[in-house]
Amino acid sequence: MGSDLAFWVLAVTAVSGALMVVTMRSLFRAALGMILCFLSIAGLFITLTAEYLGMAQIFVYIGAIAILIIMATMLTRQVEHSNLPSPYKFPAIIGALAFLGVSIWVLLNTQWFLEKLPPIIQDITPVSTSTIGLILFGQEGLILAVEIAALLLVAAIIGAISVAKEK
Amino acid sequence: MAVGLTHYLILASVLFCLGLYGALSRRNAIIILMCVELMLNAANLLLVAFSKGFFDYLLIGQAVVIFSLVVAAAEVSVGLAIVIALYRLRKSIDIKDINILKW
């Protein structure tokens, strides 16, 4: 089935991109791995019939965040061989593996209460962007949260300018 | 075996743990920011998968992901501004050298 194949390909790409981020010595290559991971997560959103979020993911993460991180990489002039491991590498492996084990155990052993529904990939219903718009802006919607998010963005812009300004 | 909700959940936890490992085991501040972004992305994937798996008609999970995107953008802009300011101060972004607040 096509969407199963798409899931496996995108999952392998996402995990290899994440592995590039955590293993590459060069900061620039790590940033490229991060872009790969973000792209495949956008594809995974599309396999979950969240097309609008897939596009938003590409715009925000690849168009804005990844470019910003690459520019910061260039500005700090430590592109090559600056990605040294810390002395806490071994405890970090232990901690991450323990967290992975616990979370997978919990995920597999929880009885999700709609488990009887058909597999989520199979019933492809087109997601309407207007439904998300109604949730965000409609009656009984999340309009207060939208305004708080706008305020947060303004605060982040002003904060970033004032922190990075040359004194 | 058909791909279901569980596959997405396990993939999200694998991505989260990779980000956690990177954030704990690297010394470069920019790499740590990238790993935080990876963890946020894993959480977004989890939200979208649950939104698809549970209440397909409600899409509330997808609406929450939009707020998560906003918070991630704000976080990375302030974080990179702090990194740039620290680099100007210390000529290094190695978190081993960043101990100004240490008493």
Task: Give the mean pLDDT per block of 10 residues along chain A (167 residues).
Answer: 87 94 87 94 90 91 90 75 68 91 90 57 59 82 90 95 85
ipTM of the complex: 0.90
Query: What's the gap between Cα A83 and its chain centre?
Result: 22
Question: A–B: how many Cβ contacts below 8 A?
Answer: 240
**Residue B21 contacts residue A96 (beta carbons within 8 Å):** yes
Q: Using CA atoms in the order B28, B30, B32, B36, what is the torsion angle rounded to 10 degrees? A: 180
Amino acid making up residue B98: I
The C-alpha atoms of residue B74 and residue B4 are separated, in whole angstroms, by 33
Among the residue ranges B10-19, B66-75, B86-95, the one predicted with the least confidence is: B86-95
**How far are the Cα atoms of A30, A88, A99 from residue A19, in angstroms, in the given order?**
9, 18, 17
Q: Are A162 and B84 in contact (CB under 8 A)?
A: no
A115: enclosing H helix or E strand: none
CB contact under 8 A, B30 and A50: no
Question: A46 and chain B: CB distance < 8 Å anywhere?
Answer: no
Position B51, amino acid = S
pTM reported for the whole predicted model = 0.88
Interface touch B73/A75, C-beta < 8 Å: no
